[in-house]
Each structure stands twice: as structure tokens, then as C-alpha cells.
Amino acid sequence: MKTDIFHLQIVPLSDILTHEEYDQSRALPLVEQLKKDGFLANPVIVASFDDKKFLQLDGMNRYSAFKMLGFSSILVQIIDYNDQEAVELASWLHLFHGDYHQILQEMENMHVEVQKGSFDYVGSRYVKEEGKARICTVLNKKGEVYFLYSGGTIIEKIQTLRKMVDWYKDGIVRDVLPQHPNAHDFVILFEEHPETNTMVVFPTFTRHQIVDVVRKGELFPAGITRHLIQRRCLNVNVPLSLFSKNASIKEQNESLEKLLSQRPFRLYEEPTIYFE
């Protein structure tokens, strides 16, 4: 279904190019939740890509869960990746409990430069595609800050980050920084997640960098890139039976059109605070 407000469509999983690894600790419970619910609540967010393909921007674990369940198609919301107002790029930070000294040592063994830093320079930043650049910042509950620098191409930097995340990927908690963080904000984050003792803050990657990484066949680590989508469709609740392999993609979309035509929707233009 395509309207002036949104574009929802069922597409083959094989037509979606993913830009990140999936998080097994999130995807496996999602498989069980989908079985229990019997429907897909929210679409995967994609953008049109080369050769009639789609670039996955958000929903990697939904995509992976559908593959695990044996489906060959999935519901997506197609957005214009070039629309600066419709899509804002940011990044997640990771909190976890681990030996941060060991992580720093492992990174140094990979020829990553580790420098002692300060809270004043931890905030949102971008990373250079070529040459030496800060690829992330590691903080701990003691208030110690370390800047990690790596050289090489953007692909080599992403490969280094993937190896790093692999060392602590079990038990990651994701969160976000305020726009202009200060030392107290980091204290608050650790207080909100008392089971953690280490934080990794990542740069924000540009559209060009994300597309470049995908075209070169690489993947970002799970849960680093963050796409903020205006007019994101939620609570669509498409029955899993609609994705039957016995129906063609055309037939599935015809069923989707019929289903959604009977569903009223409400558009919230302004940011909303919703108390649960």
C-alpha cells in the first residue's frame, strides 16, 4: 500500500541487503514472540537500492527472525534515504559488564591506539573514511575515558569494530546520549543500568559510509547505527499466515492492500510523550 504518507509493501527477503549483523540475543526471543503472537507488529525499514533491491535500515532482528522461521518474504516500510528530514542518522551506545582493561589491551594488540581522554570530547561525532580517526570511546564507572583510534579505510575501521563488539556482545544494553552530554549524564546512564560497568560510545556514520560498506560486502556490528524515521508505521499487525509460501508476492501484497484498507490509522506530526 502506497499513500502520500507511507509506503508499505511485502518483498522477498532475498531482495533486502542488510547493513548490519543481527543480535542473536534479541532475534531468538523474537522468534518465540512471533510464534506466540501470530503476527508481525512493525515493518522492517528499508530504502530503495541498486537493481530493484532494498537496503535494510532498521529491523535487522525482525528480518533475521523471519529467516529463522522459514519465511521467504516480509513486510517493509520503504522510505527515501536521501530525504534529510525524513531520516536522521545517529548512533547507539553499548553498556555491559566486562573487563574493560582486557578490551583495551586486545584493541592495542590489533594496532588500535588507545589514549586517555575526557568527558568534554565524548559527544556525537563522525569518523573519517581514510586515515587515522577515532572509532569509538570506552568509559567505565570509575569515570575513566579512553579514546580509540584506528587508521586504514572505512572498511578496515568497521572490521575492527566488529571484532571489538564480538568480545562483549553477550548482555549488551543499548542506550543513547543527550545531544550535548556532560560528565553527569554518564553517571546517570550507569545508575540506570547498575548491572553494567563499561560503556562504548560510537560515532555517527553517514549515509554515504553506510551505502559504501554495503556495496563492498561488509556489515556493521549489531546495534551501532541508528536511523530515526519520521512517520514510521507501527502496530500494523500483519498475520503471519499472509506470508504463506503458497502465495506469490503479488498475491501477498493484494492481501495486504485488502487488510490495510480496512484499518484506520492516525498520524502524529509532533513528538509525543506517552506514559506507560
pLDDT of residue 39: 98
- The amino acid occupying position 221 is P
Q: 16 and 82 share a domain?
A: yes
Report pLDDT for 239: 98
Q: Residue 272's pLDDT is what? A: 73
Joined grid coordinates for residue 96 = 555491559
In a domain, residue 219? The reply is no
Q: Which residues contact 16 (CB under 8 A, 6 or more apart)?
A: 44, 46, 53, 54, 55, 56, 63, 74, 76
**Average pLDDT value for residue range 60-86:** 96
Mean predicted confidence (pLDDT) in 49-77: 96
Q: Do 120 and 197 have their domain in common? A: yes
Average pLDDT of the residues in 159-185:
91
Q: Has residue 124 been placed in a domain?
A: yes
CATH of the domain at 82: 3.90.1530.10
Stated as kind and residue range, the H or E segment containing 76 is: strand 73-79
74, 102: one domain:
no
| Per-residue pLDDT tens digits for 177-234 | 988 888 899 999 999 999 999 999 999 999 999 999 999 999 999 999 999 999 999 9
Cα angle for residues 88, 121, 94 (degrees, 5° grid)? 60
Domain boundary among 207, 222, 240: 207
| Residue 243 binned pLDDT confidence (cut-offs 50, 70, 90) | very high
The continuous run of DSSP H or E covering 140 comes out as: strand 133-140
Last residue of a domain, one of 192, 207, 222: 207
Work out the mean pLDDT of the chain and round it to a whole number. Answer: 94
Please tell me whether residues 105 and 74 are part of one structural domain.
no
Q: Is residue 72 within 8 Å of residue 214, measured between CB atoms?
A: no
Q: Are 32 and 130 in a shared domain?
A: no
Query: In percent, how much of the chain has pLDDT > 70?
Result: 99
Instruction: Give the mean pLDDT of 102-111.
Output: 92
Answer yes or no: are the C-beta atoms of 203 and 125 closer than 8 Å. yes
Averaged over 118-141, what is the pLDDT? 91
Residue 215 inside a domain? The answer is no
First to last CA, the chain: 30
Model pLDDT, residue 276: 62
Parent domain of 71: 8-86+230-261
Number of domains in the chain: 2
